[in-house]
Amino acid sequence: MRNTWTIFKRELTGYFATPVAYVFIVVFLLFMGWTTFYLGGFYDREEAHLQTFFGFHPWLYLFLIPAVSMRLWSEERRSGTIELLMTLPVSLGQAVVGKFLAAWVFAGIALALTFPMWLTVNFLGSPDNGVILASYVGSLLLAGGYLALGACISALTKNQVIAFVLSLILCIVFLMVGFPMVLDFLSGRLPEALIEALRSFSFWTHFGSITKGVIDARDLLFFGSLIVLCLFANAVLLDLKKAR
């Protein structure tokens, strides 16, 4: 645990040691505001809720989260610092978990800075704060799922651009397999059991369920299992690279 904490602090501090973290947070907040107030027509709806705000999160995360995850291991491999990391008295699993948690907390900090949106809807009306809180939890879990996939991809290549593109594609697949239009297209072409299986593996399905205000154990199990499996695969891939 101490080694994981050390890696976590090293990585999280590293984010804020360069202007990149601040640029990311500013871009994140600007895009969140733009999609909510302009694309989502927040004021035109004249309703005190944040459904529009959270509705754009899966799409914005498609580009912003892979931009965070692409450097997790690609940069370490490109610069050669991964060899130094492996010589430290830190297990591969501890390094994987520490780096992932640092990236997740960084994404969580960016998400927490949207808190004025919550204050705004409470000032304008009487929203269901339980639903908003659940949606924030769902958004954080969604970011964790994207990050876990991206971290796994980042371990495959030294090129950050390739890591970004592959992570983006993989996240799109996990998102779109539960999208209503996709499911309607597949209906009648695939067995119903397979369609339901695809739906259950979709970010869209589980995130959408949480944003309705119900944090179901199945949704938590999905995100938790996905993160654990991806981190395990991440460690296995790095171990294979190390063996070579």
- At residue 14, the pLDDT reads 84
How many domains are contained in the chain? 1
- At residue 85, the pLDDT reads 66
Q: What is the pLDDT along the chain (244 residues), one digit of tens a residue?
A: 777 888 888 888 888 888 888 888 998 888 888 887 777 666 666 666 788 888 889 999 998 999 888 888 887 776 666 666 666 667 778 888 999 999 999 999 999 999 988 888 888 777 888 889 999 999 999 999 999 999 999 988 888 889 999 999 999 999 988 887 887 787 777 787 888 888 888 898 899 889 888 888 999 999 999 999 999 999 888 877 665 6
For 43, what's the count of Cα atoms within 13 Å in the CB-facing half-sphere? 4
- At residue 228, the pLDDT reads 95
CB contact at 8 A, 53 and 36: yes
- At residue 191, the pLDDT reads 82
What does the chain look like in DSSP terms, one character per residue? -HHHHHHHHHHHHHHTTSHHHHHHHHHHHHHHHHIIIIIS-HHHHT----HHHHHTHHHHHHHHHHHHHTHHHHHHHHHTHHHHHHHSS--HHHHHHHHHHHHHHHHHHHHHTTHHHHHHHHHHS---HHHHHHHHHHHHHHHHHHHHHHHHHHTT-S-HHHHHHHHHHHHHHHHHTT-HHHHHHHBTTB-HHHHHHHHHT-HHHHHHHHTTT---HHHHHHHHHHHHHHHHHHHHHHHHHHH-
Q: Which domain holds residue 209?
A: 2-243
- At residue 72, the pLDDT reads 82
Answer whether 0.95 is exceeded by the pTM: no
- At residue 80, the pLDDT reads 63
